[in-house]
Amino acid sequence: MTETISSIQARDLLKRLPAFSPVAIKLMVLVVDEHVSFKEVAKLFSLDPVLSGQVLRLANSGLYGREFHIQSVLHALAMLGLRNISRIAITAALSQGLPRQTSPWMRVWWRHSIATALLADHAGMKELDLDFGYTAGLLHAIGQLALFQSAPREYPEILDAAYASGADATDLMECEREHFGADHAELSGLILGEWGLPNDLRRAVSEYHLPGPSGPLTRTVHAGCAYAESLGFGQCGCLQRVDPVSGKPLDKHLLDVLATEVNLIECSLA
């Protein structure tokens, strides 16, 4: 089958994406196995000392309210559990791969990704069979990172112009395709495909922006992104497509702690 011009351009954009830890990618696949052992996960972390150090830094942050010092990944697994450690690792790995620039857009994008992950996790806790809400929320806009790397000055300007004109998600994606030959949702799906992640994750990040998204994980990411936008955590096209207030209500406690959790994660990985 012959590739289209769009897919060729998309794969060229993917080459500009910063490297993502192979250990974190393998971990995302590994945690699907409910029988995986802590020792197996700890051995995997030993292959990436930098990532291990960041995981320990986050595990010892105020985010988890621990009064004692966590000394190793195995210790962290025993104290916090595989679910929390896998989230920490994926968050740390994404942070590790971010371009070290002072762009205001980059920081807004990062905070939006974290907020979407936390909110998607809350929205999908009872609906999802697997703990993919946080991961899909965190990675849902990673395609924007590839576009930003391709045009670090022009891409934020393109987004600002689109938002100023009142563009909805469809308009925003079309604007990206006109300038780059691919939109960020398409790129996000391709990225997760290149990493060999499950189809549910790929579909969720590729289709979260569509009106009336199908599938529980896709709806969860859509809700997380829309809530994050409505609360002032960046923009990537969902807000114009949904009224978050009419969806599943957020409890007051979550709203009170969201900004604190985003700040703790951001500062711990700075």
Instruction: Give the chain's radius of gyration (CA, Å).
Output: 18
CA distance 248 to 234: 20
Task: Specify the higher pLDDT residue, 101 or 236.
Answer: 236
Over the stretch 187-232, which tens digit does the pLDDT of each residue have? Answer: 999 899 888 888 989 999 999 888 776 788 998 898 888 888 888 8
| Cβ count within 10 A of residue 108 | 16
- What SS3 class is residue 128? coil
Name the pLDDT band for 49 (thresholds 50, 70, 90).
very high
Q: How high is the pLDDT of residue 213?
A: 67
CA distance 38 to 94: 22
Task: Specify the higher pLDDT residue, 226 or 130.
Answer: 226
Q: What residue segments make up the domains of the chain, in order of their start? A: 19-97, 102-270
Tokens of 21: 């830890």
Q: Give pTM, 2 decimals.
A: 0.87
Q: How high is the pLDDT of residue 130?
A: 62
Tokens of 244: 């978050």
pLDDT averaged over the chain?
82
Q: How high is the pLDDT of residue 99?
A: 74
Is residue 179 predicted with pLDDT exceeding 60?
Answer: yes
Q: How high is the pLDDT of residue 3?
A: 47
Inter-axis angle of helices 73-97 and 38-45, nearest 10: 40
CA distance 168 to 5: 25
Over the stretch 233-255, which tens digit does the pLDDT of each residue have? Answer: 887 766 554 444 444 555 666 67
Q: How high is the pLDDT of residue 142?
A: 92
CATH code at 102-270: 1.10.3210.10
Residue with tokens 């150090």: 53
Lowest model confidence (mean pLDDT) among 55-64, 96-105, 214-223: 96-105
